[in-house]
Structure 1
Amino acid sequence: MSQIERAPDRYSSVAEKKSTGATYTPTRLAEFVADRMLAHARFIDGQRLRLLDPSVGHGELLVALVQRLGRPVTVYGFDTDPVALEIARQRMEKHCPEVECKFVVGSFLDHVLSDFLGGLFGTEQRYDLVIANPPYVRTQIIGTEQSRRLATQFGLAGRVDLYHAFLLGMARVLAPEGIAGFIVSNRFMTTKGGASARSGLMNDLNLREIYDLGDTKLFDAAVLPAVIIATGQATESSTPAFSTIYQAKREAASNATDPIDALSSNGFVGVPDGRTFEVKHGKLDVSGDASSIWRLASDQLEDWLSTVAQNTWGQFKDIGKVRVGVKTCADKVFLPKEWDDDLELHRPLTTHHTARRFRPMPPNRKILYPHEAADRGKRAVELDRFPKSKAYLERHRATLEARSYVIEAGREWYEIWVPQNPSEWPMPKLVFRDISERPTFWMDLDGTVVNGDCYWLTGDPSLLWLALAVANSTFIEHYYDNRFNNKLYAGRRRFITQYVEQFPLPDPNRAVSKEIVDACRALYSALVEGPQPDKEKELDAMVWGAFGLSVEEI
């Protein structure tokens, strides 16, 4: 078995889950990928084709494609699970008995590294057709050494997912006039970690069609799937078509038999189980470089974004740096749920549990924070000045010293691993949580320490209030979906640094911006009495107007 795929036992647990069918491709999706691939077929009549599935599983993708080919084909397949591979072999014999199958129990990536990237290129034939649903395995599962090897060989940067290497490996072995169809996690299309994979695919293939299948729940996997259809480098290039489908809380204007069938429609489409999906069609935005995030572009959408740009003064990152909260690496010591005593180094703590739009709930947690401001930013406090805190930390010294990386970094044994800058905690802060259906941003005026389950930003107070209004608006929901669209199940969005720092701000010197700041401050004060839906709605409309737009329904 491959060194890459054998590494830790945790990979086995992924394979075991896959062998139960939990992450295998459903027939309907396999047929869709096969149909879309063959829509671009331009093969010579009578030509015997070479077909590859680098992660065969039970062979659902192979069966679907071969049954539609209707021509001579030799099937090549790799899988590290011999049981799954035998099932695939039996299925091919049953459904496609005339087809020659050459299956290998082993790693496709080893095949690529040894035969295509190791100096032997040219001795190994490429494949006319590549179809795959590669494994969704991240760095922490495949291990550091294996991850480093993959990163080096495939030019990957950041956190390496195994399917990134699979994608680039498949691109390398596709014939110049070949056709490929991949089922992937849609996450790589919009994250910094997927930049290398996006760039590699853009450079090595001619992308034809991209389908972001969102929260359709086509199969039981933790990831949200996407389908990529591509052709080899010798084919004529064109701007790829891009379609998205996500659940929507709207009345359906038409109906379909299932989410795949809904892709042939546009707008709000209902399916028999009662769900409604919003289907959008356009082109891949190719205005940036090869590593730019992949998003849908259309004339209507580009006009909308152009209007926003014309009314944008700056971005959230112009206020200050978006930071994640503190990381103690010993939460049970530094921030237990209950404290027996009050200690000198206690500070109020903000967590996602107190999150509320605009105005948070009062902080109900404390953190022991052994850091203070210094000329060069921060330093660990001298514990002798704080006898109660020192006694408490001494009782937990063994636990804290077990964090060997703290000591090796030349730090004191009682320090928090990522304490951030102590001088900024007393300042007004814009705080927000990562995952939520609606944006949940609030102003911290209590001088709290922000925990690592939240992000925060500090800077000019007037700009923070303006940013707070923008961040909690329905306008920013539209902006997020049009620019980034990194959604999880049930419409939940990821509000992480790479997106939030790009949120737009209107000119703070305009009268409407000053009115927004005043209204946002007033809303914050009024929320102490309870929810203020009318004030929120008024503020929301003001934000839309500041960007030259009318309010749109979510």
Structure 2
Amino acid sequence: MNEHISLWVKQTGVLPVNLLHCQNAGVLKYAMLDGDINNFCLDYSENQDMDADAYKQQAWSSNMRNYIRVAGDDVMLYRVGNVSPERISKSLVLNNMEKFYQYISPKQDVPNIEGIVPFVMKEFRGIRNWLREENSAESSMTALLYMLAFIKDNGNIGNDSLVSLGLPANTLDIVGKLTTMEEHLQHLREGMNGFLPNISLLLRHAAGQLFEEANYIAKFNPQLSLFTNYDIKYAYDPQKLGAFYTPTYLARSIVEKVIKESHIEDKEEISILDPACGSGEFLVEALRQLKTIGFTGKVKVYGWDVSSIAINIANFVLHFEKEEWNNSLELHIEEHDSIVCNWPNVDIVFMNPPYSSWEQLNDEQRESVKELMPKGKPNLSGVFYLKAVNALKESGVIGCVMPTSFLINDSTKELRKISKEKATPFYIGRLGSFVFQRAFVDVCVVMAKVRADFDGSITMLWTDNKGKLVPDALRKLRMIDYGAAIPLNMEDVSIYQQDAKSVFNNEVWMPLSYKEMQVKKTLDGLLACGAMERVKDVFNVRQGCRTGNNSLFKIKKQELLAMGEEEQSFFRPSVDSGSLQNNVLQEESYVFFPYGENGLNILSEEQLENKVPTYYRKIVGSKESLASRASGIREWWALTRPGSWQYTPELKLVSAEFGNSSNYSIDESGRFVVERGLAWLPKDEQMPIDNLYAYLAILSSEYYNTLLAIYSKQLAGGIWFNLEKKFVDQIPLPRFSDNEDYTLQLLIGYGKKIANGVRFDYYKCEHLVRGLYGC
């Protein structure tokens, strides 16, 4: 890498790739890619070869806002939207690169010029609206590809050139029926605001965003809209297929680290597979980075997808890349269902697999999944991962985006065990729920290598579950790769090395913040010396009942009060998210609970009508649907899973299903039925009741949120966690051996006040709890 460019990478964490398509060796023009909205062009050419408008036009066509030219002792900054360039001292820039990087980021006071992607999409909407049949998505996308190829190659497209351009065989038939095509082509040629589109730059630097937008537009049913032409707005929900477009910045970062780990310097040939390639984002990025680092060997690329539209796009963009590789690139871009077909043995696998659940699979897919994983009903992404590691050659590497459940769920524990024996992770990143543009899915990154050093360390990346953190976190990761200090310990981002054995010996692989990792080391020590025990050693954490139909089996207080006293006795207040706030239980809703010590108390429909006449009239109309529930219960008015442990009312420690330390309390009356929540039942039947209040004081402390952050799954929206048994079971609790213990008695006192909403000395209680945990 050029020493000047290397300095920019080390100081700002951006990734350089050649700016121009088929750029000649020795040309010092680069696209500096930060992964989000602050990409820029950087030019170290000795001579000025263009005027100011041409520099800005190249930036605009590359979907960037700035073109930076280093000329002698000056840096010339050409901003898209500004009339005149800015001249800045070179030494000032080089000595303050991070500040300069922030300075060139998009700002409110800089004129906003519409980017090239929305400009092209405007014309594509016109095509999609003209092709209004429901099945015209593929035809409209083909027309877009033709339009881009036509402008790029100055109209030289015939049947004999379709294959070399990666266009579908029926392209000219589709375009021939589009009477408006010439109009759209003319609009593209003319550009906008003086900017003429350079399609090669667009495809090179913005293809991912372009085709993601186009795919949403193409797949929307235009018959649902009353609007026409360019006013139409589209929305498309990819969650139906569990498939989500990989953001370019994420694909770029994964490719960069995997290629480095692959040590391709001495290889004459490498093979790359993406079994769910979509529009080819991973594959394009891999080819681009291989070319930038100077790889001169042969590359075999396999890209598969179940979507014919995706395959058409991938074929087009990869044939565009082939212009740089000529005969050194062998493409196998094909429409396949990767679950049911055999995978080739390859050096590298990149993937963002579909996250479809078992219920979304067809019969053939289920049979294939059972052959690989006979037990359980796994998410499809786990099956892809297992097939991927099995497809890797000796020293092969995988880099993939996965649902975070892969790192933490019991259902994927066996998959983690099997896969690590084949390919050992060297990088794990927790990214959160804000990665995909149009979907709210909690995701992680896993990179692993066949027979990697198990005794080594793993790079762990943690980001808080907030929006817009991931691109900057990946930029900081790149800075560390180029020599910045590690560990990185920030409020929202942590990057550190962790001993591989300590990761794999755990039940979960989820990265923690660096601060939380240090806390966990202290907790592990307290557990090892016997000062602490886990929740599962003290309590049976029980899931609440499942009614089978909350709209019928749960009622509000107003409905309850309209019933007679005897009828009311068959309803009990419910523990759910609405009834448990600020550690106080309140009667917000009621569950029909016709159960006693010996089970169901209403054994016939006649009894049902006599004992709860008002309620009977409400639910009898739904008799058929209630009787047909999959659980196979005999009495249609019975709950699906009532939980026999709560037939008899008793004082108990309870929590909501999701929440934080404010969502725990004590059911002192014992009347509450845990519905969307959990009950903590002491394993030791001799445990004094008062001790439950001591545990409540711990669970309601601010420090307990730290424990949840370490052992549970953080949900989007701040300090909000999954409070289910599989997570809280592992949380350490202080070991109380003497019921006369002074600390225990203080905690009991605080707990009783907390449960009753009485004011107490919060700071003394918090200090007491933290002291028990070694803080």
Interval of TM-score (by shorter of Structure 1 and Structure 2): 0.7 to 0.9
> When the two structures are superposed, what TM-score results if normalisation uses the length of structure 1?
0.81
For structure 1, which runs of at least 5 residues remain unmatched after alignment? 1-11, 116-124, 250-254, 270-275
SS state at 2:261 partner: coil
Give the distance between the partners of 2:456 and 2:660, measured in 1 at CA: 32
Letter paired with 1:194: T
- CA distance 1:277–1:219, change in 2 (3 Å): farther
How many residue pairs get aligned? The number is: 505
Q: CA deviation at 1:491?
A: 4.2
Question: Please, which of 466, 476, 482 is the counterpart of residue 704 of structure 2?
Answer: 476
Are the equivalent residues in 2 in contact too, given 1:215–1:246 (CA < 8 A)? no
- Tell me if the contact between 2:303 and 2:334 (Cα under 8 Å) persists in the aligned partners: yes
- TM superposition shift of 1:129: 0.9
CA separation of 1:94 and 1:241: change in aligned 2, threshold 3 A:
same
Range 70-79 or range 475-484, more displaced: 475-484
Which of these residues, 515, 523, 543, is aligned with residue 754 of structure 2?
Answer: 523
Answering whether residue 293 of structure 2 is matched by residue 64 of structure 1, we say: no
Q: 1:49 aligns with which of 248, 263, 270?
A: 270
Matches within 5 A, 1:375-454: 378-382=599-603, 387-389=610-612, 392-393=615-616, 396-397=619-620, 399-404=622-627, 409=632, 411-421=634-644, 426-436=649-659, 438=661, 440-454=663-677
Alignment pair present for 1:511 and 2:729: no
Q: Would the aligned equivalents of 1:438 and 1:492 in 2 still touch at CA under 8 Å?
A: no
User: What pairs with 1:12-27 in structure 2 (closer than 5 Å)?
Assistant: 17=238, 23-27=244-248
Change over 3 Å in CA distance of 1:420–1:542 after alignment to 2: same
CA contact (8 A) 1:434 1:495 kept: yes
Q: Note the C-alpha offset of 1:61.
A: 0.8
- Please state which structure has a larger fraction of its residues in helix: 2
Q: Would the aligned equivalents of 1:19 and 1:84 in 2 still touch at CA under 8 Å? A: no
1:466 aligns with 694
In structure 2, do the counterparts of structure 1 residues 396 and 503 end up closer, same or farther at CA, with 3 Å as the change threshold? same
User: What displacement does 1:413 show?
Assistant: 2.4
Specify whether residues 238 and 108 from structure 1 end up closer, same or farther in structure 2 by C-alpha distance, changes over 3 A only: farther
Kindly indicate whether residue 304 of structure 2 is the aligned counterpart of residue 74 of structure 1.
no
Could you say what secondary structure the match of 1:403 adopts?
Answer: helix
Alpha-carbon distance in structure 2 between the residues aligned to 1:151 and 1:540: 49
**2:260 corresponding residue in structure 1:** 39
Q: Which residue of 2 aligns with 1:293?
A: 508
What is the aligned counterpart of 1:246 among 463, 467, 473?
463
1:435–1:493 contact (8 Å) kept in structure 2: yes
- Asked if structure 2 preserves the Cα contact closer than 8 Å seen for 1:30 and 1:64, the reply is yes
Distance 1:127 1:43 in 2: 13
Check conservation: 2:712, 2:727, Cα contact below 8 A: yes
Shift of 1:185: 1.4
* CA offset digits 1:115-144 (Å, max 9, x no partner): 6xxxxxxxxx5111111111111223226x
Could you report, residue by residue, the CA deviation over 1:264-301 in whole angstroms, capped at 9, with x for unpaired residues?
464455xxxxxx62314132663587782114488845
**Amino acid of the structure 2 residue aligned with 1:522:** K
Bigger shift: residues 395-404 or 127-136: 395-404
The one-letter code of the counterpart of 2:287 is: V
The gaps in structure 2 that reach 5 residues or longer are: 1-218, 221-234, 481-485
**Equivalent in the alignment of 2:494:** 279
2:398 is equivalent to residue 175 of structure 1: no
Contact 1:245 1:280 in 2 (8 A): yes
Q: Does 1:107 align with 2:337?
A: yes
Q: Evaluate the alpha carbon distance shift between residue 146 and residue 511 of structure 1 in structure 2; reply closer, same or farther with a 3 A threshold.
A: farther
1:14-413 pair list within 5 angstroms: 17=238, 23-43=244-264, 45-69=266-290, 70=295, 71-97=297-323, 98=325, 99-112=329-342, 125-142=344-361, 145=363, 148-155=366-373, 157-215=375-433, 217=435, 219-233=437-451, 235-247=452-464, 258-263=472-477, 264=480, 266-267=487-488, 269=490, 277-283=492-498, 286-287=501-502, 292-296=507-511, 300-301=518-519, 303-309=521-527, 310=529, 312-337=531-556, 338-339=558-559, 340-342=562-564, 343=567, 344-360=569-585, 362-374=586-598, 378-382=599-603, 387-389=610-612, 392-393=615-616, 396-397=619-620, 399-404=622-627, 409=632, 411-413=634-636
Cα distance in 2, alignment partners of residues 184 and 257 from structure 1: 17
Q: Distance in 2 between matches of 1:302 and 1:353?
A: 32
Per-residue CA deviations over 1:329-351 (Å, capped at 9, x if unaligned) read 12232213352424241222222
- Partners of 2:365 and 2:734 lie apart in 1 by 43
Contact kept? 1:380, 1:412, Cα under 8 Å: no
Indicate how the Cα distance of structure 1 residues 423 and 196 shifts in structure 2: closer, same or farther if over 3 A, else same. closer
Q: TM-score, normalised by structure 2?
A: 0.59
Q: Distance in 2 between matches of 1:408 and 1:303?
A: 44
Shift of 1:56: 0.5
The answer on whether the counterparts of 1:55 and 1:135 sit within 8 Å (CA) in structure 2 is yes
Q: Which moved more, 1:283-292 or 1:332-341?
A: 283-292
Cα distance change on mapping 1:473 and 1:19 into 2, 3 Å: closer
Tell me the secondary structure at the aligned position of residue 666 of structure 2: strand
Helix, strand or coil at the partner of 2:581: coil
Q: In structure 2, give the amino acid aligned to 1:83.
A: I
CA distance in 1, matches of 2:677, 2:772: 28
Counterpart CA distance in 2 for 1:185 and 1:446 is 41
Distance 2:392 2:574 in 1: 53
Q: Please list the CA deviations of residues 383-441 of structure 1 after superposition, one character each: whole Å capped at 9, or x if unmatched.
A: 56672415633663452343346697463222111111265552112111222255521
What is the CA distance between 1:236 and its match in structure 2? 4.3
Q: CA RMSD in A?
A: 3.4
Give the corresponding residue for 1:4. none
Q: In the aligned structure 2, how far is the partner of 1:431 from the partner of 1:313?
A: 21
Return the letter of the residue paired with 1:367: V
In structure 2, what residue type is equivalent to 1:364?
A: E
CA distance in 2, matches of 1:164, 1:256: 23
User: 1:35 deviation in Å?
Assistant: 0.8
Asked if the contact 2:243–2:355 (Cα under 8 Å) also holds between the matched residues in 1, the reply is no
Alpha-carbon distance between aligned partners in 1 of 2:465 and 2:552, rounded to the nearest angstrom: 43
